[in-house]
Amino acid sequence: MSRLFWCGFFTLWPIVAIVACAISPAMNWAFPDNEPAATELGRRIDDLFYLILIIVTIAFIGTMAALSWALWQASKEDKPKAWFTHGSHNLEMVWTIVPSGILLFIALYQVDVWAMYRMRSSVDEDAYLNNVVAEVTARQFEWRIRYPAPGTRFKDAADIHDWLSQPRAGDLYTVNHLHVPVNKQIVIWLKSGDVQHAFFVPKLRVKQDALPGQAIDIWFNVNKAGDYDLLCAELCGWGHYKMRGRLSAVSETDYQQALQDLKNYQEDDGVDDQPVARTTSP
């Protein structure tokens, strides 16, 4: 009875794993709010996650099947006494070469996604320069955001690094609430004002460290309008939890309007009868 029970017990879990693995992509259990990524890049990253889930599930099934078989064999009534062995050279070769092959396969298979995520050659140069929407500086404990003045572009600066090191008259500033146009490949430059932080928008699957002394560019295309949590994914100090910002992906018109509202707010001298309401704050 107990022989059957334990073999059945260890056979049950691979079956559970197969069911979970089969229905997981449809349910998006692993992702925030059980939703697919809101960027094409994010969906490619999710696909890599599922590929790894399948590989792990197959390894789990193999391991549990071996365990069940060993249990079944070892619990036979007429089984001879166990013997000591130093191991099997052949087996060790197999479980060294097979995982190495799998890791090599994953490393090569993900190269396209990595290139899409991080290699400048994957982005059209003109589109890149036209669509730098903001510089985001992480500091303890907030996201400082700088947009080019409305009607001007990052590209208008003589050099990419001039714009980053030399704020220009008319640039717009805000904190913790980043507006970006939807359905457009946008570029953000990330900096840190103090320690290491990480710009993380879980629903877009966008994550990049912000390092002191470096300006790092990231690009992505939000395919679905809406508000997304912007978090710091690097434990950066006692107030780390306070670095909860918002990324709003809006239509081009609303994006321009948000910049205009910010400009009106920034230029408001507070003397008018009706002060300008700040509409872009978090």
Nearer to Cu ion among residue 236 and residue 249 (C-beta): 236
The minimum distance between CB 36 and Cu ion, in angstroms, equals: 27
Question: In the Cβ-directed half-sphere of 192, how many Cα atoms lie within 13 Å?
Answer: 19
- Using DSSP's 3-state secondary structure scheme, residue 95 falls into helix
CB closer to Cu ion out of 157 and 236:
236
Minimum Å gap between C-beta 198 and Cu ion is 7
Q: Specify the stretch interacting with Cu ion by CB under 5 A; choose among 14-22, 86-94, 146-154, 234-242.
A: 234-242
* Cα of 282 vs its chain's centroid, Å: 22
**Using CB under 5 A, which of 177, 179, 197, 205 touches Cu ion?**
197
Question: Which range of residues in 36-44, 65-73, 116-124, 192-200 is near Cu ion by CB under 5 A?
Answer: 192-200
Q: Hey, what are 10's tokens? A: 């260890």
Q: By CB under 5 A, name the one of 172, 182, 222, 232 that touches Cu ion.
A: 232
Is residue 201 a contact partner of residue 194, using CB atoms and an 8 Å limit? no
Per CB under 5 A, the list member of 134, 218, 243, 262 interacting with Cu ion is: 243
**Token pair recorded at residue 82:** 């166990």
Binding characters for Cu ion, 140-179, by CB under 5 A (x = yes): ----------------------------------------
Q: What are the start-end ranges of the H helices in the chain?
A: 2-27, 40-74, 89-109, 111-118, 125-130, 160-165, 252-267
End-to-end CA distance of the chain: 63
**DSSP state for residue 80 in the 8-state scheme:** P
Q: How many residues of this chain interact with Cu ion, rule: CB under 5 A?
A: 4
| Contact set for Cu ion, span 61-90 (CB under 5 A) | none
Query: Does 49 sit behind a cis peptide bond, omega within 30 degrees of 0 on the bond before it?
Result: no
Cβ proximity to Cu ion: between 178 and 232 the closer is: 232
Q: What is the DSSP letter of 94?
A: H
Does 203 engage in binding with Cu ion (CB under 5 A)? no
- Smallest gap from Cβ 169 to Cu ion, in A, equals 30
Q: How far is CA 118 from the centre of its chain?
A: 12
- Compute the distance between CA of residue 232 and CA of residue 202 in angstroms, rounded to an integer: 10
- Reference 267, options 252, 253, 278, 254; nearest CA is 278
Q: How far apart are CB 146 and Cu ion at their closest, in Å?
A: 18
Q: Residues 132, 188, 206, 236: which binds Cu ion (CB under 5 A)?
A: 236
Give residues in contact with Cu ion (CB under 5 A): 197, 232, 236, 243
